[in-house]
Amino acid sequence: MNLTDRPRRLRTDGVRPLVSETSVEATDLMAPVFVDATADERVPIESMPGHERVPVDEVVARVQEVRDTGVRAVMLFGIPESKDPEGSRAWAEDGVVQEATRRITRETDAYVVTDVCLCEYTDHGHCGLLEPHAREEGNLTVDNDATLELLARTARSHAAAGADMVAPSGMMDGMVGTIREALDAAGHQDVAVMSYAAKYESAFYGPFRDAADGAPAFGDRRHYQMDPANAREALREVRLDVEQGADVLMVKPALPYLDVVHRVRTEFDHPVAAYNVSGEYAMLHAAAEKGWLSLEETALESLLSIKRAGADLILTYFAEDVADHL
């Protein structure tokens, strides 16, 4: 054979890293942190090995643990001291995320992003105010327009507490524009908005609902989260958020929707985020515990695939473990 093109020439140890097309750095990653107003000590999350709910008094130490691995950004999720039909603890000045944000920004240099949604705060577990008779009628769930003002109030309260970025995740139509207008009117023009622009009604969220105590008390979220069958719709959703002022565009989940991540990256010049969700994390841990997979290798390969698809930043429960090995 007379082979002039031999790709294996570029796979030897010396040159392989020089021609590697994609890399994952600690600064590409964002670590979720669960802050629990009902806890006095750290509480392990059974379905998410290695993760805990932390009390407010422990949140600075928890964030510093993240920072020590080289990861610079955290996303805060709150478990409030009480819940009600409106989710009013979501925008309370002394709410769990607000107090955690004040402490973190005062005592660390972490970049703080806050999740803006009502599901952890409502007693029914849905992402907004319920439509009349929603519990009885399966074709009704959340009143979109009535929920927008509550999301705006929540985002303003997070910004006032010192959040660098707010991340609305409820998939309400118009949420980005409403939040951007509210932030600007309150003097928070420099607070960025990372929209969960294409968030699917996915079966991969199960462990998170255990972690954040945010499972719906009835029904599901198919009437406001996206149909997993739809990709073109994702581009329409993302375009609307861009027009309303989103600074960063997130696709959630990540691995089952890498095609969507890639299409968003191709169509838009905004930074693209992807959420490597709890189910993706838990299934690798479960397989590793069985001895079927190498956890370290599959975790890194998963994050590489998300970067290769086009994500600029990745929200992942593997953030600290992967950063430690980079």
Catalytic residues: 199, 252
Distance in angstroms (rounded) separating the CA atoms of residues 49 and 281: 9
State the chain's maximal CA–CA distance in angstroms: 75
Residue 151 Cα to chain centre, angstroms:
16
Structural tokens at position 326: 């980079």
SS3 225: coil
Helix, strand and coil percent figures for the chain, each rounded to 5: 40, 20, 40
Distance in angstroms (rounded) separating the CA atoms of residues 98 and 162: 8
- The amino acid sitting at 136 is E
Q: Quick check: 114 and 97 in contact, CB under 8 A? A: yes
How far are the Cα atoms of 175, 250, 262, 267, 270 from residue 222, in angstroms, in the given order?
18, 19, 24, 26, 27
User: Which residue's entry shows tokens 């607070």?
Assistant: 191
Which distant-in-sequence residues (6+ apart) come within 8 Å of 229 by Cβ? none
- The amino acid sitting at 252 is K
266 bridge partner residues: none
Q: Quick check: 249 and 273 in contact, CB under 8 A? A: yes
